[in-house]
């Protein structure tokens, strides 16, 4: 029985090292590229706008099919009760989900053509700016 536990712990450790290495590599690639500016702009968006951005990108036929597949796989993984490392394991159970999200976001950022992503982000930023102006005009 102890051999099974030891093997399980070794597999979990290997999975975490691989996930951290992939996440670090993708983070480095995004940090060293023009996508960094776009990633920061997306990061500043409100949560609802990020969901709408994802929905509009998924519906845009100019986005490659593999980008849609990455997004769909990410959603399915996060919604699924089956995890790489079970969530009941303290810290590691949630850390693997975080790493998967970071890897998925990095892959999405790199797989969607920049001009398409820029167009969609710009649309939501302009929408938010118009709403802010309308609210300022109504209160002033």
Q: Could you give the CA distance from residue 84 to residue 67 in angstroms, rounded to a whole number?
A: 22
In this predicted structure, what is the pLDDT of residue 74? 87
Asked if residue 123 lies in contact with residue 135, where contact means CB atoms within 8 angstroms, the answer is: no
Quote the mean pLDDT of the chain: 84
pTM of the model: 0.68
| Parts of the chain with a pLDDT under 70 | 1, 30-33, 139-140
In this predicted structure, what is the pLDDT of residue 75? 87
Residue boundaries of the structural domains of the chain: 2-139
Can you say whether residue 120 is alpha, beta or left, with left for phi > 0 and alpha for psi between -120 and 50 degrees? alpha
In this predicted structure, what is the pLDDT of residue 31? 67
In this predicted structure, what is the pLDDT of residue 32? 67
In this predicted structure, what is the pLDDT of residue 11? 84
């Amino acid at each position: 029985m102890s051999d099974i536990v030891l093997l399980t712990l070794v597999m979990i450790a290997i999975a975490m090292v691989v996930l951290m290495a992939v996440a670090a590599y993708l983070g480095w690639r995004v940090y060293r590229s023009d996508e960094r500016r776009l990633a920061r702009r997306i990061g500043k968006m409100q949560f609802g706008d990020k969901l709408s951005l994802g929905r509009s990108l998924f519906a845009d036929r100019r986005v490659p099919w593999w980008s849609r597949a990455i997004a769909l796989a990410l959603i399915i993984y996060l919604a699924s009760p089956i995890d790489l490392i079970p969530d009941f394991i303290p810290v590691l159970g949630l850390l693997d989900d975080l790493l998967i999200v970071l890897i998925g976001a990095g892959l999405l950022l790199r797989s969607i053509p920049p001009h398409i992503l820029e167009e969609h982000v710009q649309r939501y930023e302009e929408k938010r700016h118009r709403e802010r102006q309308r609210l300022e005009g109504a209160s002033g």
